[in-house]
Amino acid sequence: MGAFILRRLFQAIIVMVSVAFIAFLLFQYVGDPVVFLLGQDATPEQIRQLRADLGLDQPFFVQFWHFLVNAAQGEFGLSLRQGAKVSRLLGERFPATFELAMVAAVMALVVGVPMGVYAALKRGTFLSQLFMTVSLLGVSLPTFLIGILLILVFSVWLGWLPSFGRGDTVQIGWWSTGLLTATGWKHIILPAITLAVFQLTLIMRLVRAEMLEVLRTDYIKFAKARGLTDRAVYFGHALKNTLVPVMTITGLQLGGLIAFAIITETVFQWPGMGLLFIQAVTFADVPVMAAYLCLIALIFVAINLIVDLLYVVVDPRLRVANSGH
* Residue 171 DSSP SS3: strand
pTM of the model: 0.82
Does 136 score more than 90 pLDDT?
Answer: no
- Greatest Cα pair distance, the chain, in angstroms, is 87
Distance, in Å, from the CA atom of 288 to the CA atom of 276, rounded to the nearest integer, reads 8
Q: Rank 33-42, 140-149, 277-286 by mean pLDDT and report only the highest.
A: 140-149
Q: What is the mean pLDDT of residues 243-253?
A: 75
Distance, in Å, from the CA atom of 286 to the CA atom of 283, rounded to the nearest integer, reads 9
Cross-strand bridge partners of residue 177: 170
DSSP element (H, E) containing 150: helix 143-150
Q: What are phi and psi of 171, to 5 degrees?
A: -90, 120
Proportion of the chain above pLDDT 70, given as a percent: 91
What pLDDT is recorded for position 47? 77
Question: Do 128 and 118 meet the contact criterion of CB atoms below 8 Å apart?
Answer: yes
Length of the chain: 325
Q: What is the mean pLDDT of residues 14-33?
A: 82
Query: Which tens digits make up the pLDDT trace of 254-268?
Result: 777 887 788 899 999
Name the residue with higher pLDDT: 52 or 36: 52
Query: Which tens digits make up the pLDDT trace of 142-187?
Result: 888 999 999 999 999 999 999 888 989 999 988 999 999 999 999 9
DSSP 47-97: HHHHHHHHTTTS-HHHHHHHHHHHHHTT---B-TTT-SBHHHHHHHHHHHH
What pLDDT is recorded for position 98? 92
Question: Do 30 and 286 meet the contact criterion of CB atoms below 8 Å apart?
Answer: yes
What pLDDT is recorded for position 150? 94
281, 272, 239: which is closest to 116 by C-alpha? Answer: 239
Q: What is the mean pLDDT of residues 17-24?
A: 89
Burial of 51 (0-12, 13-18, 19+ CB in 10 A): middle
**Ranges assigned E (strand) in 142-290:** 170-172, 175-177
259, 249, 262: which is closest to 298 by C-alpha? Answer: 259
Provide the residue type at 120 as one letter. A
What pLDDT is recorded for position 318? 54
Give residue 94's pLDDT band: very low, low, confident or very high (50, 70, 90). Answer: very high
Q: What is the mean pLDDT of residues 298-306?
A: 84
- C-alpha dist (Å) from residue 213 to 118, 192, 311: 14, 31, 19
Of 54-58, 69-73, 96-100, 137-141, the one with minimum mean pLDDT is 54-58
